[in-house]
Structure 1
């Protein structure tokens, strides 16, 4: 239950004066639906004003002038502005409005009246002018013009100043809450109390106060991170309290290990040991297996799937696409057949005649292992005794979708969960995305994988690269050609990819595949399957498609305008080749503006040229970007923080995670004074499933 003291913060923004039916949608888009959301909307800049006279006015600065209004000059033709003459004791200036209303201007600025005017000073023909003044008020309202004004985000239907007014109204509901942070620790950090931090957030005095490391912002960021980490820690503890079957390796797992055509790497052995320790604990496992492209996640999954079967339970492996599920089945079914374990495939595209025996086998317990897509969590699928679920590309599934599969367990207890991800991220950021999971890392590649030779070339050598590609394809190679993101427009992306596919098809003298995000799933998978089967030598892809299929014969990749891609995206794309013992090569083609290639772009491409280590690349991306949307965080499901920045506050993430564990370790029920205050913090941010309400 939410504490009563917080009720005023969790009412609709429509309850605030000035938020009517027209403005409400804009406020929702900008901040959220609650008064709390407006209170948490931080200013992004500030306007600094100082008192000026016409004689002391400085172009480029924002001044406050005490003026006598003169005559209004109307525009002689469309496109020209209204001009209003005004003066003080030191000289004259001109107030300018383009497209203004004569009636409004005359009402605001009556001829001969005194007005306090604020705006950015400009000079035109050596005369001082202010275009579209920020304020024009009577002398009695001079206090409305503040020397330092916070600037808030704005959107269609609401201005920054209107937002500021609403935020100030929301701040009137600021409650007096008990402190949840240790007073001595706050003093050591030189951080303010929570109410003082909130007030300072909305009253910046300089640009320093807008920095993420400013005391008020850092304090609020830590509060938010602590609330999130507490939610994740609680979920982990709740999960660990759930009874689950004890699974252990047996004959099938031993025979499967012997049948593998390679020796496990040290990282794979450690991951298997981690997972088996969880499976044998009697508590529900929820572990992430994070490994770079080609690190051998599937082999680890196969061994622990065998553990479940050895223990008398069924196991399921779920993949996000039909083609990836079929690929897993084609690889694993023969291995499991060698050890006497039947492995079925179930996808949404299977005809009823194929689905029926699979469904009957799962319900009757005759099928111990199934590999499939979203079809696995449909109501028609019933398991006799499901003990372990493995989910590949876990970020492609929602929380509810994963839970629907886990809910198919029976009387033996909760289903163990192993999720897999091929997106390397820095360890600090793991805490924000996977804080409630145990994490195993595969940071070694299996032996036999040959390094990918990466070349960085200017775009004007595209023709030369295409000719070399043709020669390689004629020699039996397969290749990817990745088209760039030209603008934030899928339509333009598609047109560029179609043109490139047509041109390359003419050069190659044979059909060229094309996949893009607008294609229906079945059509896209048909093209991918044709490429996988070797019928298409070249696949052209737009940036909107995630090429997640394993084509061992594909050994070449060309990426146009590589400087426009993020490091993580380039690494994931490059990881589609080099998946066999054949030599592979990736060419990064970069374009240059008139000012040349930027320093950051040069550094990114050089890192790709030097290393294939996804974790090293992720750390470099973390370091280089320092903000924005690093590593594709939005796509990767990172929380929508309001104050915290995973880049700027990396150090606070670890501290918040440690503090959350310490708090719950000392006071599991949160019954102490600090525990009750911490519960208030959780309620204030209202984290649910790792995300705050209102987003």
Structure 2
């Protein structure tokens, strides 16, 4: 059975284009914007700042202009003081029949400026009624394909109106009565109706508060139930004591004194791994905050208790760097550390496989090669995953399945995750934060320059830094859609630097190079054989060259905030003052200007992460678009609705503390709704 005016063909379009299958789906397709139609403008008040206007008046004349396909209908509309043209390119006969001259109408639409005069193309026209209260007009997302079949925002609005009439405000409640009363929420039916057709702002805000809370509350309820299940269902290996390896490293090998934040996080990890259940912990910290040292010391806890440990990194460069750093730091201890990547030769691979099985290899560091079926451990006790978002759930599970009992899991992120996102995307993990940099680090000085005016002074500055024995990164964007142009920009930049600094050694690295060539270029720079490294963002994550003190980012307008901060984090790792120079063209958007202002103002990764979430929204943040979020978001926005995320988590936590199984009669509704939402999400995953 279809809604009036829907029919099977239209229904199919809604299925394919918007994943709308039921009346409930349609009712949860909320407006993306509302236009205040309680106000009328005079025609002479129209200016370019108004996106939509509503005017009252009369049509005084119709004129058909042009011929054939180019024919258009122009209606002259006046409010008694001024006049404006209403222009129609389609449905000309209908317009001529439907609207009468010298009759009072309300016209609503988008004003366009052409040759110094305003007109409105295909406006909404309704008879004026003195008693009518226009309220807010909802605007709905559709697609180009739907619009070509006359299913625009207005058509969706009419269908939703019909759907609301059909259900007659009798939607089954989805929250327990005591929660609705506690937070003074409106009923679900009232919330849905006013989310689509509010007559004033107060009603809209109350409707949105109810619906946003509900969405985020159920996400938190699902996440916290999953977290409780992880804590109690999976028996972990108990690391009962701290032994010679941990103490030996702490006393003989530690390259610097641990910060208080690092000590605090190590205590949290220690408490987890000596318990009877599997650890699942997220380790957050700014670039250069010392996450790797914490991970290494956690791995030594595993070794002291007779277990093996591994680190899985997203790239060969990062895996190799972890290997070299850890290998060098553990030289004084009787431990075997090995590296396994896609480039590892067959004979070497077989030797590593044998060492893992007989337990003679204590640490394994590698890439995706670690999850191959042929890689088997004697006793894997701890897995460290660097750069969580680059590994899927199935890949992580493969590591867990290498044991009869799942190992402890420590997940590290390269840059801080905004709090609301961490509570949602990583809500089933315990979170540790290193919010302190090692002592002696100088804040990086960041400047923004325009490419057409400051290039010479930049070159003089680079020359000065090189004369002090420092090294320089010069990074160019490389985006798939314009790969050839970007590669040319990179090679042109390389040639330009060679012409400016003919006596210097300059290396180049980009994603199109063979792994061996890339590695050779990187090693030249790491070993200080090259003064300047011209590169794409392949150097974004993890590369550590303490002598590099300048990061020049070309076309900085083409990078997001998180990526700019990540690139900047490649410098500032030694005792010398470091610099980041953001080079852009003069033509940049306001949003880009905001990004660059934030970069020049602060080095705090947590502040930058929050700003990035506000500017871009959660859907754009790498690796977070719906991944890790248990249910689809229809109305809530993780960037703007942090207060509802927090409230939802507090409420869900309180319920589960008192009723972990949701077995109380008043919580039956919660179990039912979780089940329904799980079904809905399955449909979404099938569609996508």
TM superposition score category, shorter chain reference? 0.7 to 0.9
Deviates more, 1:240-249 or 1:455-464: 455-464
Q: Deviations over 1:305-336 (max 9, x none)?
A: 12212212221111111111111111112433
Match of 1:347 in 2: 341
TM-score when scaled to structure 1? 0.82
CA contact (8 A) 1:43 1:151 kept: yes
Q: Deviations over 1:258-313 (max 9, x none)?
A: 22232222222221111111111011100111111111111111122122122122
Match of 2:455 in 1: 462
Q: Deviations over 1:500-529 (max 9, x none)?
A: 333223212256444456667666555434
Query: Are residues 1:233 and 2:224 paired?
Result: yes
Of 236, 244, 253, which residue of structure 2 is paired with 1:251?
Answer: 244
Q: CA deviation at 1:538?
A: 1.9
CA contact (8 A) 2:113 2:119 kept: no
Correspondences of 1:152-163 after superposition (within 5 Å)? 152-158=140-146, 159-163=152-156
Match of 1:220 in 2: 211
Query: Are residues 1:556 and 2:550 paired?
Result: yes
Match of 1:176 in 2: 171
Of 667, 678, 685, which residue of structure 2 is paired with 1:675?
Answer: 667
SS of residue paired to 2:374:
coil
Q: Distance in 1 between matches of 2:40 and 2:443?
A: 66
Of 391, 395, 398, which residue of structure 2 is paired with 1:397?
Answer: 391
Q: Are the structure 2 counterparts of residues 691 and 396 from structure 1 closer, same or farther at C-alpha, using a change threshold of 3 Å?
A: farther
SS of residue paired to 1:480:
strand
CA contact (8 A) 1:117 1:133 kept: no
Q: CA deviation at 1:416?
A: 0.7
Query: Are residues 1:132 and 2:121 paired?
Result: yes
Query: Are residues 1:120 and 2:109 paired?
Result: yes
Q: Distance in 2 between matches of 1:458 and 1:87?
A: 49
SS of residue paired to 1:569:
helix
Q: Are the structure 2 counterparts of residues 135 and 381 from structure 1 closer, same or farther at C-alpha, using a change threshold of 3 Å?
A: same
Q: Are the structure 2 counterparts of residues 594 and 396 from structure 1 closer, same or farther at C-alpha, using a change threshold of 3 Å?
A: closer
Of 614, 621, 633, which residue of structure 2 is paired with 1:633?
Answer: 621
CA contact (8 A) 2:56 2:128 kept: no
Correspondences of 1:376-395 after superposition (within 5 Å)? 376-395=370-389
Q: CA deviation at 1:658?
A: 1.5
Of 73, 76, 96, which residue of structure 2 is paired with 1:109?
Answer: 96
Match of 2:472 in 1: 479
Query: Are residues 1:436 and 2:431 paired?
Result: no
Q: Deviations over 1:398-419 (max 9, x none)?
A: 1221111111112xx2211011
Q: Are the structure 2 counterparts of residues 19 and 408 from structure 1 closer, same or farther at C-alpha, using a change threshold of 3 Å?
A: farther
Q: Are the structure 2 counterparts of residues 540 and 125 from structure 1 closer, same or farther at C-alpha, using a change threshold of 3 Å?
A: closer
Q: CA deviation at 1:588?
A: 3.7
Match of 1:643 in 2: 635
Q: CA deviation at 1:187?
A: 5.0
Task: Please tell me the root mean square deviation across aligned C-alpha atoms, in Å.
Answer: 4.4
Match of 2:27 in 1: 39
Structure 2 unaligned spans of 5+: 47-51, 147-151
Q: Distance in 2 between matches of 1:331 and 1:89?
A: 80
CA contact (8 A) 1:92 1:128 kept: no
Correspondences of 1:442-591 after superposition (within 5 Å)? 442-457=434-449, 459=451, 460-473=453-466, 476-483=469-476, 493-509=486-502, 512-516=506-510, 524-525=518-519, 527-542=521-536, 546-560=540-554, 562=556, 566-589=560-583
Match of 1:416 in 2: 408
Q: Are the structure 2 counterparts of residues 111 and 326 from structure 1 closer, same or farther at C-alpha, using a change threshold of 3 Å?
A: closer
Of 51, 64, 70, which residue of structure 2 is paired with 1:73?
Answer: 64
Q: Deviations over 1:67-90 (max 9, x none)?
A: 69x664231698774435689999
Q: Are the structure 2 counterparts of residues 603 and 222 from structure 1 closer, same or farther at C-alpha, using a change threshold of 3 Å?
A: same
Q: Distance in 2 between matches of 1:170 and 1:520?
A: 58
SS of residue paired to 1:19:
helix
Q: Distance in 1 between matches of 2:161 and 2:28?
A: 11
Q: Deviations over 1:515-564 (max 9, x none)?
A: 45666766655543443343433223446873431122222112346566
Structure 1 unaligned spans of 5+: 1-7
Q: Distance in 1 between matches of 2:299 and 2:551?
A: 34
Q: Distance in 2 between matches of 1:307 and 1:127?
A: 75
Q: Distance in 2 between matches of 1:417 and 1:125?
A: 62
